[in-house]
Chains A and B, each alone.
Chain A
Amino acid sequence: MRILLAEDDTLLGDGLRAGLRQHGFSVDWVRDGAAAARELRAQPYAAAVLDLGLPLMDGLDVLAAVRRAGITLPVLVLTARDAVPDRIRGLDLGADDYVVKPVDLDELAARLRALVRRAHGQPQETLQAQGVTLDAARRSVSQAGQAVLLSTREFDLLQALMLSAGRVLSRVQIEQQLYSWGQEVESNAVEVHIHHLRKKLGAGLIQTVRGVGYLLARDTVAP
């Protein structure tokens, strides 16, 4: 999952980027509000972690601008401002979660996962489709009760498809969701990962829509 981190403090930003990477997120780190607003409009992030006291543009202004632009991604506000009016204002401006520093890394990751899940209408920590179960917290996948070992990229790709189950994701969309800045994306990387997933989980799980992208069919829910 690719997220945007907006934090102007060098030490904290560096730590958050490293920590969230450990939890399987791809992290783009910006250090000022203007850059945060720009990137959020330009890239399809799964979520954003937003500090409020940002240079050039306050975090709350970034939030308001992003919401005005119709971008609905989950935003977690991470700040030192803990007064109740601040929290209310943040939530009213469109923040999905409000976390006061200092924060536990595991909790922050769990909150981010929950935000992303809810944004996709998924109330549970595990995703299920076509007999495949994906546990986002433990980063494990099983099929018919059998654990399946996936690489990081394969896991992220499967998670992206399962979160968007029933919708077609283009190759570019998948690349944008998987890779943060500066990461080399080989032209056929997505195809390679899809190929591996099909080998490990069965050819029928992921369908190719020629000229458009890939689709993981949603379980048909009994009426």
Chain B
Amino acid sequence: MSVTPRAPRSLQGRLLAGLLGAVVLVWGITALITWRDARHELDELLDSHLAQAAALLVAQQSHGGDEDDAPGLDAPQLHRYAPKVAFQVWHAGRLVLRSANAPVDPMVGAAASATSRPKRHADRDDTDQRGLNTDLRTVLIAGTDWRVFSAVGAERDIQVFVGEQLQSRQAILWAVLRSTLWPMALALPLLGGVIWWVVRLGTAPLRSLSHSLAHREPLALAPVAVVDPPSEMLPLLAALNRLFERIAAMVEAERRFTADAAHELRTPIAAIRIQAQVALAETDEAERHHALRATLAGCDRAARLVDQLLTLSRLESGTAPAVAPLDLATLAQRVTAELAPGALQRQQALSLDAPQPCIVAANDPLAAVLLRNLIDNALRYSPDGAVVQVTLRRQGDRVLLQVEDSGPGLAEADRDRLGERFFRVLGSGQTGSGLGWSIVRRIAAAHGASVGVSRSAALGGLAVTVDWPAAG
């Protein structure tokens, strides 16, 4: 079954439809109950009127004697309702009195022989205390439904029919129903308007929120403010603002990183440019060579800086590196061997002391970057002829990697700041961005290792210790 995407329905529309629907339903049920009740009461009332009138006629005939024999004497019309009400008085099978609108035939077919009464339409059939045989039924007379009350006198020769058109009852019922429904029909649009307005008022904070979100600059990350927010919206607002805060922090970090990186690149690029211009304008061959070599050195430095920036940016993206069991001793051998030729050029003694395998859970390329940065830093910031010692030891469930040098070391204040991005020790006479330290710290953190910086007791320079959790 495929789900076709529907246009989202508005909250206001849903509430309006739901509330109006509920009101109409409740009102309808009320009207139905009212109508049923009214019909019942009306039937009772009007039936009792018919009975009353019939009893009156029976009594009048019984006592009034037979002197007035004129059949079909019409009773005067006294009320505009009168045509809807009719009566007949039969005496010994003879019609002695009838209203003008009453038929000449008995209103109830079996009236002449009062003994046989059709039960089919009988609603009420009983004998009251005065000895009247009474009967209440609905009959069809000349195409119209009549409610007819028939009463037979005690002497059994007086028979009275009092009828009323059913239509008139229905008219009354409809009038009652109308009076119930009319206000509703009138009130419904008004109620709809009020509900619409109230719902609109209630959802105003929502609209204000969506408006302020929609009209936001794509990078505006200030907290959203909604005037007088309802309590239901507070968690949403809080979550939204927390999200904005997090994104703002991320964007800010990213922006700062880009700005810092651009700044750091400016100096090598400026150097490359100036040296190239000097080389172009220089006429002295030796000076020109010097400037060209300096240009190349500047390019190398810029390239290294870019590499470091990329490494750092990958590390800062926050994805955990894939780790596998790795022998740090083997890795240290590889990295030390890589860096040894450069150290030899500066008559620096670089040595590795790793007597046993040291297995840690690490990402091979990242661990290599960490080692290379540490050893490279030690070589770079130590003078020609210095000693750099790399040591790897297992201590219980830890693996300790230490890189010591006989260089000038660091003041305590500078030690604390190592690892801040782009912090570098000034006056070291070396070109560096300070990114190496940030990278070392981040790689260590990603592997659950800690980095400690202290003064080397053996060599007098800097001692950097990386404390790894051992694996296996």
Contact = CB atoms under 8 A, between A and B. Distances in A.
Size category of the A interface is: 20 to 34
B269 A18 contact: no
Contacts of A56: 426-427
Interface residues of B, number: 27
A19 interface: yes
B277 A9 contact: no
B271 A12 contact: yes
Contacts of B282: 18, 22
Contacts, number: 81
Contact of B270 (A32, A81, A101): A101
Interface in A3-44: 8-12, 14-16, 18-19, 22, 31-32
Given A80-B266, A101-B267, A14 B426 contact: no
Nearest to B288: A18
Question: Which of A8, A14, A15, A56 has the most chain B CB atoms inside 10 A of its CB?
Answer: A15
A15 B268 CA distance: 11
- The B interface is mostly helix, strand or loop, or mixed, namely helix
Given A14-B294, A18-B278, A18-B282, A101 B301 contact: no
A148 interface: no
A171 to B, nearest CB: 30
Nearest to A81: B263
B291 A11 contact: no
Given A9-B271, A19-B277, A80 B263 contact: yes
A11 B294 contact: yes
- The 8 residue pairs across chains A and B that have the minimum distance between CB atoms: A55-B426, A102-B270, A15-B274, A101-B270, A12-B271, A55-B427, A11-B271, A80-B266
27 contacts: A8-B426, A9-B267, A9-B271, A9-B431, A10-B429, A11-B272, A11-B275, A11-B294, A11-B298, A12-B274, A14-B275, A15-B291, A16-B274, A18-B278, A18-B291, A31-B429, A32-B427, A80-B264, A80-B267, A101-B266, A101-B267, A102-B269, A102-B273, A102-B274, A104-B273, A105-B273, A105-B278
Given A32-B426, A103-B270, 10 more contacts: A10-B431, A11-B301, A14-B294, A18-B278, A18-B287, A19-B281, A22-B282, A80-B263, A101-B269, A106-B277
